[in-house]
Amino acid sequence: MTKVTTSVWATGQQPSRSQRQNRYLPESMKHPGKMLPAIAAQVIGTYTQPGDLVIDPMCGIGTTLVEAVHLGRNAAGVEYEQGWAKLALANLAHARRQGATGSGTVLVGDARGIAGLLHGLAGWAALVLTSPPYGSATHGHIRSTRDSGEPGIRKHNQRYSRDRANLAHQPLPVLLDGFAQILAGCTELLRPGGVVAVTVRPYRQQGELVDLPGHVQKVAARAGLAFADRIVCLLCGLGRGRLLNRASFFQMHEARKGWARGLPIHATAHEDLLIFTKPLKPGGSRKLKDLQQEPKGSSGDTARNPFGQGRHLPACPEGGR
């Protein structure tokens, strides 16, 4: 049975940069779509035990993996972009130098084929923790151009993919189909009763609000997962009777533009954490197999098991293509 938790988690007491300081390599801040470490740590601490296996099929710079090994769990991640995968591996090595007792690995490949990429781990994972991409570019960071004599701002670190085959570049229906494949593959890696946790928030596209959490809930059902819980993970801080705003410049800018047009748009102050479980009894196997077909053009190496048999993972090996 999935653990019952409170409905709101205070995961934004410290800004993202403060949560990562010294715990991650400085270049990690260049990734514009990072999971908040406090969310990852609380999910892992709530739904797993020391020695358990945690998987992130779209691991980015490795936030899920780093928090898992610091908590004495083992971790495996898949990342499509080779540059971010190398940084995730470096962050794992950094965690080990800081005394993390868990072991982790990263593979480069297409997560739609994750059941093949990590075939030696089928049935071992206690938790899958991930977040879908919101697009090829997200908010990133800003730099004032005032010092150069040009009024205004300039974006930087706002793009995490230039590969057109990346799911982040695809329209929403294709992205959701791909995410359904990923979740179905992860279901094969989970032990019976294992948990899938997805952090996701709504986003605006050309001013219209896209209910990405609602879409994710539907595709998870397609993948054979049972919905168990929905938790609010605060991105704002709580302090002395008031909320501490952590919204980005871009969120505030969009909100102000909306109000100027007469639309009461508010900056997002939380992530939805959707909790699903793998049924104890197998069901819908044909549907799962249909979803798990290897995608055309997949670049992952599915020919060998990088871990060997058993639950212990090697410490930060190179892997993938």
The verdict on residue 318 lying in a domain is no
Q: Domain of residue 35: give its range.
A: 8-244+271-291
Give CA–CA dist 182/176, Å, rounded.
10
262 φ, ψ (degrees, to nearest 5): 90, 10
For the domain that residue 101 is a member of, what is the CATH number? 3.40.50.150
Q: What's the pLDDT at 314? A: 40
How much is the pTM? 0.78
pLDDT at 247: 72
Identify whether 287 is part of a domain.
Answer: yes
Which residue type does 159 have? R
Asked, for residue 213, whether it belongs to a domain, the answer is yes
Looking at the structure of the chain, the number of domains it has is 1
**Given this model, what pLDDT does residue 289 score?**
43
State which amino acid sits at residue 14: Q
Residue 93 lies in a domain: yes
Contacts of 290 (CB under 8 A, 6+ apart): none
pLDDT for position 168: 75
Which tokens in the block code for residue 310? 């058993």
Q: Does residue 2 lie in a domain region?
A: no
Give which of 198, 217, 224 is closest to 280, Cα–Cα.
224
Among the listed residues 179, 184, 173, the one whose alpha carbon sits nearest the alpha carbon of residue 210:
173
Assess contact for 152 and 52: CB atoms under 8 A: no
Model pLDDT, residue 282: 56
Residue 51 lies in a domain: yes
Cα Dmax for the chain: 66
Q: Which of 307, 276, 303 is nearest to 124 (CA)?
A: 307
| The pLDDT of residue 308 | 37
Residue 164 domain-assigned (yes or no): yes
Q: What is the pLDDT along the chain (321 residues), one digit of tens a residue?
A: 556 566 999 999 999 889 999 999 999 988 677 899 999 999 999 999 999 999 999 999 999 999 999 999 999 999 999 999 999 999 999 999 999 999 999 999 999 999 999 999 999 999 999 998 865 445 544 455 555 556 555 544 445 566 777 787 788 899 999 999 999 999 999 999 999 999 998 877 766 778 899 999 999 999 999 999 999 999 888 888 888 887 766 666 677 777 788 877 777 788 999 999 998 865 444 444 444 343 333 333 333 334 433 333 344 443 333
Q: Is residue 127 part of a domain?
A: yes
